[in-house]
Structures are given as C-alpha cells and as structure tokens.
Amino acid sequence: MTDRPRTLLTAVRPEAQRDLYGFYDGLRGAGPCYWDRVVSSWVVTGHELVAAALTDSRMSSVRFPEPDAVEDGLRRFATVISRSMLYRDALEHARLRRAVSRTFTARSVEALREPISAAVHEIIDRVRPAGRMDVVADLAVPLPFNAICALIHAPEPDREQLLAWSNDVAAAFGNARLTAGEKAAADRGVAGMAAYFDRLIDRPEALLRPGDLSRDEAVANTILLLLAGHETTTHFLGNALLALLRHPGQIPRLATDPATAIEELLRYDSPLQLVLRRATEDLDLGGERIGAGQPVLLILGAANRDPAAFPDPHTLDLGRTGKARHLAFGHGAHFCPGASLARLEGDIVLRALLDRLPGLRLAEPELSWRPSLNFRGLDRLIVEWDVR
Ligand code: HEM
C-alpha cells in the first residue's frame, strides 16, 4: 500500500482494514520503531521491541492529566477512569491489581463455565431453525457482556442500561476525534455507571467491595472490568470464527488441541491492536531516542505478525509451535487479568457453533470492519448453515 506520508492513521480506512496486516508490513518499512508525524507518536511494530517496552518501568500507563486540566465534556470520564489499574503504574498499580485478583480468581472464572455454556446453547437453539444469523449481534455482543455482568454480580434487569452506558463510554476510548455530543455521552455514561456501582459495591456479593480498595477505586475498577471484558471478547469471537470459516481445513485441530488453537486465533487477528505508553525519561528503543514525555504506540497486532518472531506469520496454523508468545493480551505488569475468561468463552462458543450448525459458512463474503485504530472487529458477521 503506498500512502504519503506513511502513517498509522491510515489504518482506520476501510481499504486498510481489509488488508490490515499487509498495511502493517508497509509500516515495517519505516523500521520496527519510528516517529509517526501524523499521529505525533512513536509507533512500534517489532515483536521484540513491543515486548521489551511492555516490561520497561520507564514506559508509563498514566494517561490522564489532572482532571482540572482535562477539557470540558470529559472531566467526569477522566476522573473516574484514571482511578482504574489500567492507567496506574508501579506500586499503586500493583496494589489495585492485587485487590482485584483476590476476588477475580481462577475459581470465579471456572464458576462461569456452566452458565456461559448454557447461554451459548440457548442462543443456538433459538437461531438454528432460521439457518442464518449475525454472529456479532446475536452472540458475540450479548454473551461476553452477560458473562462479565455475572462476574461482577450486576442483576439482569439492570443490564440493558449498563450496556447502553458502556457503549457510550467505549466509543470514547482511543478516539481522538470525538464530537461534542460523543464526549457528553461518554461523560454521562461514566457518571451513570459510577452512581450505579457506588450502590452495587455495598452488596455482599459484589466482586469488588470497599476495604482493600477505597470506594472510588472499587467503583472505577468494576467499571474497568465491565469495559475491558466486553468489547475485546466480542471482537475475539467474531475474528476467530471468521478465521476458522476461511480456513476450514484447520477446524479439526480446534478439537484435538483447543488450547494451542485458541492462542493462534488470538495471534492471527488480535481484538486489541495497540496499547499506549508514555516515556517517563529519555530512553533508547530499537536504536531510536525516545524523549521524556513522548507517547509510544505499541502495535500488538503488528508484533503478532512480525516475521522475525513467527515464521510465515500470515498463515493460520492452529498447531503452531515456537518460542515467541503472542502479545494479544499484552505482557508484563498489565497482562490481561481476564485472559482465562476470554479463552474460556472462545473455546465454548467456537466449538458449540461448529458442532451444532452443520455446514456452517460465511453468507456474505464482503466484510465491514470497525473503523478503529485500537479495536479490530467486525460490524457484523452473517453466517448460514444447513437446516435439516
Ligand atoms: C488489560 C486484551 C478480555 C480485563 C488488557 C491488556 C490487553 C488486553 C492487551 C493490556 C493493556 C495494557 O497493557 O495497557 C484483552 C483481550 C481480551 C480481553 C484481547 C479478549 C480476547 C478481558 C476480559 C476482562 C479483561 C474478559 C475481564 C473480565 C482486563 C483488565 C485489564 C486488561 C482489568 C487491565 C489490567 C492492568 O492494567 O493491570 N487486556 N482483554 N480483559 N484486561 Fe483484557
């Protein structure tokens, strides 16, 4: 793809989304770490450098300036979200993360296996006679959202409102060009959720309760779980099913070694394409001099297709072996604490769809991707199958 000037920003265009990994290969021509004048950030596409940056304590996750310095319209958003672990560093990050992992455990994830499985089969029972569905709207959106609501014990009648707020807030993430209306909606959404969870966290069954955490921190991190656990998994389910339907010869491997297969699907088309850090001091990365205060975009999706880390990176190989680990869940201190829940959902959903819908295939070869730099996901995924 020839584009002048060569910039990551082009990735939001539909034609770039259609060949995203070819587009990244073009960016690699500028080196594994380069200064992108259009987005005014360093852009890192090399696997080794992205992994190194993710474990470098001089790369800060603190994103929000003091709330007073935040422009009007996003002040409540910044105040609440900045208290979550995602935007904290070092000891403070570790304290918040410890408090969350005390209740968000392997056991709490395992307890969701049965309800998730029941929900998936219920959806399949409902749509099966029609012979056609939109996997995104019918399954990949509601399933992860309900799973995360079950984890944080948000009662069913409240979920529709929570989803509406969450969509408004999610629209503000990673979008540098928000309209005044979108800002106001994100701000209202976060205020709505903050007031809601401020009541919910007093219930004995709440996942995060004031104690190890302050009240505000319990609220902010519950909101983080809701936001982080929902859209990423939606995209994972859609992208993974698409990859399988385009490579039907690989499908049997999902049954023989599901754990390896799920990791390869995450590498192949990662739901979250980038994370942002800011250098706290001057440092070297891949021979480039990064200045104190400069932003650094770590392109997980490009690192996961780096030929130096993954031989034949554009080939889906559900039995892939090798030393390099994919970075779809990040790496280091902020490594995704929801990884095992996401893997569980992927395993249940993909196997149930492929087992129960005979002849499952794409019904519309023309795909429409979300125009986003950080999320990689389909607007819809229409499939059909044989009805007997
Ligand atoms: C962090 C990806 C599902 C909760 C992260 C990070 C990535 C990621 C890349 C690191 C961000 C950074 O370093 O700045 C994904 C993907 C998912 C997924 C691809 C689905 C396939 C989930 C789920 C949950 C969750 C299901 C909750 C149940 C979180 C939280 C953090 C996080 C709380 C912040 C961790 C920290 O700052 O220490 N996720 N995630 N994620 N994720 Fe996930």
Instruction: Tell me how far the alpha carbon of residue 235 lies from the centroid of ligand 1, in angstroms.
Output: 13
Residues with CB under 6 A from ligand 1: 61, 85-86, 97, 148, 224-225, 228-229, 232-233, 236, 271-272, 275, 300, 328-330, 334, 336-338, 341-342
Cα–Cα distance, 232 to 313 (Å, whole number): 22
Instruction: Tell me how far the alpha carbon of residue 4 lies from the centroid of ligand 1, in angstroms.
Output: 34
Closest CA to 374 of 105, 8, 37, 14: 8
What is the per-residue pLDDT for 273? 97
What is the per-residue pLDDT for 178? 80
Which atom number of ligand 1 is nearest to the Cα of residue 341? 26
- Quote the Cα angle for 195-196-200, to 5°: 120
Closest CA to 237 of 171, 340, 141: 141
Instruction: Tell me how far the alpha carbon of residue 388 lies from the centroid of ligand 1, in angstroms.
Output: 40
pLDDT digits (tens, 9 = 90+) for 198-237: 999 999 999 999 988 999 999 999 999 999 999 999 999 9
Which protein residue has the closest C-alpha to ligand 1 atom 38?
334
Classify residue 225: in a domain, yes or no.
Answer: yes
* Residue whose CB lies within 8 A of the most ligand 1 atoms, among 84, 262, 336, for a mutation test: 336
**Cβ-based neighbours of 71, under 8 Å, separated by 6 or more:** none
Instruction: Pull the structure tokens for residue 248.
Output: 């039907």
In angstroms and rounded to an integer, the radius of gyration of the C-alpha atoms of the chain is 21
Residue ranges in the chain modelled with pLDDT below 50: 1-3
Classify residue 53: in a domain, yes or no.
Answer: yes
Which protein residue has the closest C-alpha to ligand 1 atom 14?
275
Classify residue 203: in a domain, yes or no.
Answer: yes
Instruction: Tell me how far the alpha carbon of residue 101 lies from the centroid of ligand 1, in angstroms.
Output: 13
- The number of distinct structural domains making up the chain is 1
Continuous H helices in the chain: 14-18, 20-28, 47-54, 75-81, 90-103, 106-110, 113-127, 135, 142-151, 159-170, 180-200, 215-228, 231-246, 251-256, 258-268, 300-303, 339-356
Q: Give the C-alpha distances (Å, rounded to integers) separating 325 from 41, 86, 214, 239, 246.
A: 25, 22, 36, 19, 24
Classify residue 1: in a domain, yes or no.
Answer: no
> Residue 40 in contact with residue 293, Cβ under 8 Å?
no
What is the per-residue pLDDT for 68? 54
Q: What is the extent of the structural domain holding 267?
A: 8-384
Which protein residue has the closest C-alpha to ligand 1 atom 32?
336
Classify residue 3: in a domain, yes or no.
Answer: no
Instruction: Pull the structure tokens for residue 348.
Output: 């249940």
DSSP letter string, 134-181: EHIIIIITHHHHHHHHHHTT--GGGHHHHHHHHHHHHTTTT-S---HH
What is the per-residue pLDDT for 1? 45
Instruction: Tell me how far the alpha carbon of residue 336 lies from the centroid of ligand 1, in angstroms.
Output: 4
Instruction: Pull the structure tokens for residue 191.
Output: 């205020």
A 10 A CB-CB count for 350 gives: 23
Instruction: Tell me how far the alpha carbon of residue 378 lies from the centroid of ligand 1, in angstroms.
Output: 19
**Cβ-based neighbours of 80, under 8 Å, separated by 6 or more:** 190, 191, 193, 194, 216, 219, 220, 223
What is the per-residue pLDDT for 66? 55
> Residue 329 in contact with residue 343, Cβ under 8 Å?
no
Which atom number of ligand 1 is nearest to the Cα of residue 96? 38
What is the per-residue pLDDT for 177? 75
Instruction: Tell me how far the alpha carbon of residue 46 lies from the centroid of ligand 1, in angstroms.
Output: 21
The DSSP secondary-structure symbol of 245 reads: H
What is the per-residue pLDDT for 71? 61
What is the per-residue pLDDT for 3? 44
Q: What is the ipTM of this complex?
A: 0.99
Domain holding 89: CATH number?
1.10.630.10
Classify residue 311: in a domain, yes or no.
Answer: yes
